[in-house]
């Protein structure tokens, strides 16, 4: 007997493991009858998961934590037993902002400290001339995109709440907003950065892997209550997603995977854009400049599917840093317990330890992140909100 499941997703390449698991038949082989429901905004996905219209979801990692803590919405405890993507975001800027940053830069344009410092000079010059603040798009207040933008620009001396505007936009609307001048830049997941470059309306300034070596991005999320009632179904779903992730990571399967993911009912973009994303080989400028990174998006390799509680701790620390909540040891414990490596290991018959170094994040500035010393992490940064 098959188990019917409705799973919500946003059209992003880091939904790849779910899409391939369903469309390649890996989920069916595990006895699952999955209907993938394409959504346009993270609030839609969160709300439908929380009230039970979705059994599971492709979800922003910080949303799973915020929901479990009752931040920004009603409290619904969420369990994340599988990482759908590590990294995968990029910061894309308009041609005009790209020129302005490059005019001010002193150093390597791929060095995030050099670009952040240049951005601070651009911001100061605009203030002096009375120009409107720059506007940056991000996908949700509780999002990796928000925290990654803030982490980067604050390192250069730009206060993200005082010196620029941060606005929320659903991922599919980012490119149109950049082209229309509503935003000067955005941080979003693939393929929308590449779409902006291909249309000639944006330059990819940074991959998120320039800013954080290893950043938990999207998770397979279920309600904790559903998890407790359906352990066998959840284990089957984890196995099917892991099998799909392994399939995607094999170079000989990339063309087929890109074709599956790019279909109209999935991402509805050119398969070549998806293929470049999976390969980490991206066009970063309308003039055709290419850049390669083997860390651009990790779907299955380097044990990417294993959820690491230290990643949840870093995301919680950013919520505290930017005034979305006050720190408490109990809330930190709740946040870390959202990420469930034990369920991942039980489903796959593996055991283990984190595959990464003791610093689970690898940020380009600041001390190594220690989940046991959130206060020390926050104290290392001059720009933060008052209660942090």
On whether residue 157 sits in a domain, the answer given is: no
On whether residue 41 sits in a domain, the answer given is: yes
Residue with tokens 């041609």: 95
* Residue 306: CB atoms within 10 Å: 23
How many structural domains are present in the chain? 1
CA atoms 105, 107, 112, 116: torsion sign: negative
Encoding tokens for residue 321? 């840093």
Encoding tokens for residue 338? 């959202």
Distance CA 7, CA 219 (A): 12
- Which string of DSSP letters, residue by residue, matches 307-372? --HHHHHHHHHHHHHTTSS---HHHHHHHHHHB-HHHHHHHHT-----SS-SSSS-BSSSSPP-TT
Residue 239 CA neighbour count, 13 Å, CB half: 19
pTM: 0.96
On whether residue 103 sits in a domain, the answer given is: no
Per-residue pLDDT of the chain (388 residues; tens, 9 = 90+): 577 999 999 999 999 999 999 999 999 999 999 999 999 899 999 999 999 999 999 999 999 999 999 999 899 999 999 999 999 999 999 999 999 999 999 999 999 999 999 999 999 999 999 999 999 999 999 999 999 999 999 999 999 999 999 999 999 899 999 999 999 999 999 999 999 999 999 999 999 999 999 999 999 999 999 999 999 999 999 999 999 999 999 999 999 999 999 999 999 999 999 999 999 999 999 999 999 999 999 999 999 999 999 999 999 999 999 999 999 999 999 999 999 999 999 999 975 555 445 678 999 999 999 999 999 999 999 999 977 6
On whether residue 276 sits in a domain, the answer given is: no
Look up the CATH number of the domain holding residue 52: 3.40.190.10
On whether residue 225 sits in a domain, the answer given is: yes
On whether residue 13 sits in a domain, the answer given is: yes
Distance CA 220, CA 54 (A): 12
Distance CA 300, CA 7 (A): 20
3-state secondary structure of 78: strand
On whether residue 44 sits in a domain, the answer given is: yes
Provide the residue range defining the domain that includes 335.
3-86+216-268+327-351
On whether residue 345 sits in a domain, the answer given is: yes
| Residues 258 and 170 sit within 8 Å (Cβ to Cβ) | no
């Amino acid at each position: 007997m098959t188990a019917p499941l409705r799973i919500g997703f946003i059209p992003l390449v880091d939904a790849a493991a779910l899409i391939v698991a369903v469309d390649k038949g890996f989920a069916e082989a595990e006895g699952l009858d999955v209907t993938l429901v394409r959504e346009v905004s993270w609030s839609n996905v969160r709300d439908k998961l929380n009230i039970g219209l979705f059994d599971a979801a492709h979800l922003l990692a910080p949303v799973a934590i915020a929901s479990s803590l009752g931040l920004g919405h009603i409290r619904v405890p969420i369990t994340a037993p599988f990482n759908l993507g590590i990294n995968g975001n990029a910061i894309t800027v308009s041609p005009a902002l790209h020129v302005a940053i490059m005019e001010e830069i002193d150093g390597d344009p791929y060095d995030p400290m050099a670009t952040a410092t240049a951005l601070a000079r651009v911001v100061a010059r605009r203030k002096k001339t009375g120009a409107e603040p720059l506007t940056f798009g991000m996908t949700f207040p509780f999002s990796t995109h928000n925290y990654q933008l803030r982490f980067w620009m604050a390192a250069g001396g730009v206060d993200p709440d005082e010196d620029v505007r941060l606005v929320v936009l659903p991922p599919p609307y980012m490119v149109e907003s950049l082209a229309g001048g509503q935003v000067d830049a955005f941080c979003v997941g693939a393929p929308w950065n590449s779409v902006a470059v291909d249309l000639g309306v944006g330059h990819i300034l940074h991959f998120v892997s320039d800013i954080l070596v290893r950043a938990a991005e999207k998770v397979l999320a279920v309600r904790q209550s559903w998890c407790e009632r359906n352990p066998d179904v959840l284990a089957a779903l984890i196995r099917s997603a892991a099998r799909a992730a392994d399939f995607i990571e094999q170079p000989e399967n990339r063309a087929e995977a890109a074709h599956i993911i790019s279909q109209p009912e999935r991402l509805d973009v050119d398969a070549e854009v998806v293929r470049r994303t999976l390969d980490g080989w991206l066009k970063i400028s309308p003039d055709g400049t290419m850049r390669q990174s083997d860390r651009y998006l990790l779907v299955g390799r380097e044990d990417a599917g294993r959820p690491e509680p230290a990643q949840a701790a870093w995301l919680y620390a950013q919520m505290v840093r930017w005034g979305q909540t006050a720190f408490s040891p109990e809330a930190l414990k709740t946040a870390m317990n959202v990420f469930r490596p034990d369920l991942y290991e039980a489903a796959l018959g593996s055991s283990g330890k984190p595959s990464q170094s003791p610093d689970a994040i690898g940020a380009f500035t600041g001390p190594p992140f220690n989940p046991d010393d959130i206060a020390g992490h926050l104290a290392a940064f001059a720009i933060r909100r008052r209660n942090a």
